[in-house]
């Protein structure tokens, strides 16, 4: 029996996109014949899709879609494992299909959305490109006026809903949200728990100054006020004109921000960094 080297496993893994142990087993079964191993693995394409279900998909794209009447909008995120696949025309075609079906469906339940034909398409795509693909999340906005903005090769997508104003204004505010990433529309939306936690931190810092209690209280209030302004959309300097705040821009147009959504690819997903050489050595021991 031929010895199965780390370089052989690495080559098969790179050519098929399959897991290391699958590659090792296939090489053992074919006595080190990489081409025969690829042939055998291709015959088992159903298992290939299933085996990839646990792989981390932290790359991909986000999309924004606004209805023809301009009063309903949707954001969707579809993940791949690498940015290379995120640019693949087959992957982007699948994203387009999912976006259209999801928008017409009107819901936000990904599991329900993927119960039919889209799941078959997803599995076929997994088998074809050799990476795990997942529809991660969907969110919707309804408003009198909606503006959308997509930035950075479909890496960030935003929606803004307005009462009053224009689509152009909504798009400008959506662009600001993509660039600056406010956490809330208004300081009034920030929960008491968040404010209390920040106040606790600032108080501990201020007490180290040794200043009188009344001075410390004013210092803490000032820091809280600055914190709330920094995370609130309406109080941020407008990215296209820092001399005016977003709230003033919107108010001047006779409008009000009623909704804000922002998706960024992979946010909140912990992607494990793997030392490939160490992984190969560990898997091949014994």
- Residue 49: CB atoms within 10 A of its CB come to 18
pLDDT of residue 98: 97
pLDDT of residue 48: 45
Fold adopted by 59-187+253-264: Tetrahydropterin Synthase; Chain A (3.30.479)
What does the pLDDT look like over 25-35, one tens digit per residue?
888 998 988 88
Grade residue 206 by pLDDT with cuts at 50, 70 and 90.
confident
Q: For the chain, which residues make up each domain, given as ranges?
A: 6-54+272-284, 59-187+253-264
Grade residue 209 by pLDDT with cuts at 50, 70 and 90.
confident
- The arithmetic mean of pLDDT across residues 249-264, rounded, is 98
Within the chain, where are the H helices?
6-16, 20-29, 34-43, 45-51, 83-86, 89-105, 110-113, 117-129, 167-180, 192-207, 213-231, 246-252, 276-284
Q: Look at residue 228 and tell me whether its pLDDT is greater than 90.
A: yes
pLDDT of residue 6: 82
Grade residue 210 by pLDDT with cuts at 50, 70 and 90.
confident
- The arithmetic mean of pLDDT across residues 57-73, rounded, is 94
Q: Look at residue 45 and tell me whether its pLDDT is greater than 50.
A: no
User: In the sheet that 256-264 helps form, which strands lie side by side, from edge to edge?
Assistant: 145-151, 156-163, 256-264
pLDDT of residue 15: 73
In degrees to the nearest 10, what's the CA dihedral of 58, 59, 60, 63?
80
Q: Does residue 136 sit in helix, strand or coil? A: strand
Choice between 252 and 197, residue whose per-residue pLDDT is larger? 252
Q: Look at residue 273 and tell me whether its pLDDT is greater than 80.
A: no
Taking CA atoms, 238 is separated from 154, 169, 174, 235, in Å, by 22, 12, 11, 9
pLDDT of residue 275: 54
Fold adopted by 6-54+272-284: Helicase, Ruva Protein; domain 3 (1.10.8)
What does the pLDDT look like over 68-79, one tens digit per residue?
999 999 999 999
pLDDT of residue 44: 63
Distance CA 265, CA 250 (A): 28
Distance CA 62, CA 76 (A): 6
| DSSP structure string for 228-267 | HHHHBGGGSEETTEEEEEHHHHHHHTT-EEEEEEEEETTT
pLDDT of residue 151: 92
pLDDT of residue 188: 96
pLDDT of residue 49: 43
pTM summary value: 0.75
Instruction: Tell me the two tokens of residue 213.
Output: 């209690």
Grade residue 46 by pLDDT with cuts at 50, 70 and 90.
very low
Average pLDDT over all residues of the chain = 87
Choice between 67 and 51, residue whose per-residue pLDDT is larger? 67
pLDDT of residue 50: 40
Grade residue 17 by pLDDT with cuts at 50, 70 and 90.
low
Q: Look at residue 149 and tell me whether its pLDDT is greater than 70.
A: yes
What does the pLDDT look like over 95-138, one tens digit per residue?
999 999 999 999 999 989 988 889 999 989 998 988 889 999 99
């Amino acid at each position: 029996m031929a010895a199965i080297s780390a370089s052989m496993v690495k080559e098969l893994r790179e050519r098929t996109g399959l897991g290391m142990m699958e590659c090792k087993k296939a090489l053992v079964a074919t006595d080190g014949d990489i081409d025969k191993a690829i042939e055998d693995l291709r015959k088992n394409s159903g298992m290939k899709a299933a085996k990839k279900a646990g792989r981390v998909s932290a790359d991909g794209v986000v999309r924004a879609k606004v209805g023809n009447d301009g009063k309903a909008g949707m954001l969707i995120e579809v993940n791949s494992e690498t940015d290379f696949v995120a640019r693949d025309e087959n992957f982007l075609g699948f994203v387009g299909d999912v976006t259209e079906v999801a928008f017409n469906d009107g819901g936000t339940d990904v599991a329900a959305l993927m119960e039919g034909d889209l799941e078959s398409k997803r599995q076929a795509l997994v088998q074809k490109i050799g990476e795990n693909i997942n529809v991660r999340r969907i969110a919707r906005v309804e408003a009198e006026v909606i503006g959308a903005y997509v930035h950075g090769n479909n890496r960030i997508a935003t929606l803004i809903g307005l009462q009053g104003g224009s689509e152009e204004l909504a798009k400008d505010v959506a662009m600001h949200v993509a660039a600056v990433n406010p956490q809330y529309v208004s300081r009034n939306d920030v929960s008491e728990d968040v404010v209390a936690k920040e106040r606790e931190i600032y108080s501990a810092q201020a007490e180290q100054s040794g200043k009188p209690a009344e001075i410390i209280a004013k210092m803490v209030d000032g820091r809280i006020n600055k914190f709330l302004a920094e995370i609130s959309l309406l109080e941020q300097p407008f990215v296209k004109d820092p001399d005016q705040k977003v709230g003033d821009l919107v108010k001047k147009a006779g409008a009000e921000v009623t909704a804000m959504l922002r998706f960024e690819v992979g946010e909140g997903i912990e992607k494990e960094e793997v030392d490939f050489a160490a992984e190969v050595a560990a898997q091949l021991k014994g």
